[in-house]
Amino acid sequence: MAGHGTKLRRLVGMGAGTGLLLAAAAMATGSAAPVKADFDDLLDPILQPLISSFTESITALDPAAATDVSSLLDSLGLGSFDSLTSSATEPAAAVAAADSPVTGTYDIPLTVKEDTEPTVQATIDGGSNTLLVDTGSSGLVIPWQALDSSNPFQALEDLFQLGFPTGISESGYSGGVEYIYLTYNDVPTDYGDGVLDTTGPVDIEVLSWPTSFSSPLDFQQFLQDDDVTGILGIGDSSSAAGPTESPLQTLGYGGVLVDIPGKELVVEPTAPGGGVTVDGAPISQLYESVDGGTRTELYDDVDSGGVYGTIPSSLVGNAGSLPSGATIDVYDGANGPLLYSYTTGTDSLDQSTAPTVESGIGTSSSPIDSGVEPFLQEPIYLDYGNDTMTFYPK
C-alpha cells in the first residue's frame, strides 16, 4: 500500500472538498451557495453520527488530531452541534424490488486483473468505470470522481445534477478504508458496452479516511490498489455485508452467474441446470479440509473480492501458515460432494496463493473467506430469490 500524507493535509483536503462541493452546487443549480444557518438546520441531524465516527477514526490514528478536527469543524460551521453521538448510522434503506422478475439472459464480458480481481466495464451516468465483481458485499459503490474521471469539476456538477439523494450513511471495506456515501436510486448504468442497461441504485462515496497507518489514504487509492474505479457488490443483501443492495437484486434480475473460466458475468433469472446448491449467498455452512485431513464444519464467505481468503488456525496446526503445495478441499456436508479444491502455490505476480491463517474465524459471526479461488476453478451462481449458491465443479 502507498503511504499516507500527514493529518493536517488530510483535514485541509476535507475542507477544500467541502468548498468545491458548495461551488459545484451553486454552478449546477444557478444559485448562490446556502448560508451557514441553512446548512446547520439541514445537516445537523444527518452529520452528527457521521462526524463522530470520522473523529473517532482520526483520533485512533493520532490522538493529537482530535483538536485539529474540532478546530476544522468550527471553521466549517459544523462544530456547534449539541452532541456528537458515537453510534454509526444504519445503511440507507434499499429500494423496493421490482414488482415482477426481469426475464432474459445478459452475458457481460468479465476479465481478471492482477490474478485475483474479476472485473466488468460499466458506464455510470456517462462515466466509464472498471468495477470489481464482489460477491462478498452488496451494492454498486463508486467515488464521486468516477462520474467524470477526466474533469473533477464536471464530476461534481454531474453529482449535483443527480438530484437529492435518498440516503446518506457510512460504510467501509476490510482493506482499511471507511467512507460516507450518498445513495441515488435512478442512475443510468450500462454494463458491458450495451449488454445490459439499467436505471438503478448507486452509492456514491463523498468522503473517506484510512483506518490505520498501513491503510490506503482514501477510497480512491483503495480502488487504485485493486486496479478498479468502483465495486459491484452482487452478494444477496440478506447475508452479504452491504453497504446497500446490488442493483441487479433491487431491479429483480433473479440471480448472477460468476463465470471466470468462461470470461463472463451472466445475469439470468434462474440457475443453469446441474451443479450443487447450498444455502446462503455468499455465506454458507460448509466443510473444509487440508491435505486430505478431517473435514471441519465452518461458515465460509464465498467471496470473489477476497483475494486469497482466510483459513482458521485450527486447520493449520502449529505451522502458523500454509506452505506451497498444500491442498484445500471444501465440501457440502460432512459426507457431501466436493464443491471446490485447489493447491497453494504462487501466482503470476509471485504472490502466495495460500489463504491467510487467522484464529477465531469460521463461525456464523466471523466466517472464513474463500477468496477468489473457487471462482477461478468453476462458475458459481447466486440466487437472490432463494438466498442460495450453486457450484458447478469440474
Which residues form the catalytic set? 134
Instruction: Compute the distance between CA of residue 287 and CA of residue 351 in angstroms, rounded to an integer.
Output: 26
Burial category of 8 from C-beta neighbours within 10 Å (exposed 0-12, middle 13-18, buried 19 and up): exposed
Q: How many CA atoms lie within 13 A of 288 on its CB side?
A: 28
β-sheet bridge partners, residue 346:
352
Which three-class secondary structure state does DSSP give residue 181?
strand
Instruction: Compute the distance between CA of residue 297 and CA of residue 288 in angstroms, rounded to an integer.
Output: 7
CB atoms within 10 A of CB 241: 21
Which three-class secondary structure state does DSSP give residue 241?
coil
Q: b vs e for 21-38, b when ≥16 Cβ sit within 10 Å of the residue's Cβ?
A: beebbeeeeeeebbeeee
Contacts of 319 by beta carbon, 8 Å cutoff, 6+ apart: none
Instruction: Compute the distance between CA of residue 16 and CA of residue 20 in angstroms, rounded to an integer.
Output: 6
Residue 225 is which amino acid?
D
Instruction: Compute the distance between CA of residue 104 and CA of residue 269 in angstroms, rounded to an integer.
Output: 7
Instruction: Compute the distance between CA of residue 369 and CA of residue 304 in angstroms, rounded to an integer.
Output: 9
Q: Nearest to residue 200, comparing CAs of 270, 134, 253, 128?
A: 253
Residue 111 is which amino acid?
T
Q: Between vectors from CA 277 to CA 232 and to CA 254, what angle results, nearest 5°?
A: 45
Cis peptide before 143 (omega within 30 of 0): no
Instruction: Compute the distance between CA of residue 158 and CA of residue 151 in angstroms, rounded to an integer.
Output: 10
Instruction: Compute the distance between CA of residue 308 and CA of residue 5 in angstroms, rounded to an integer.
Output: 29
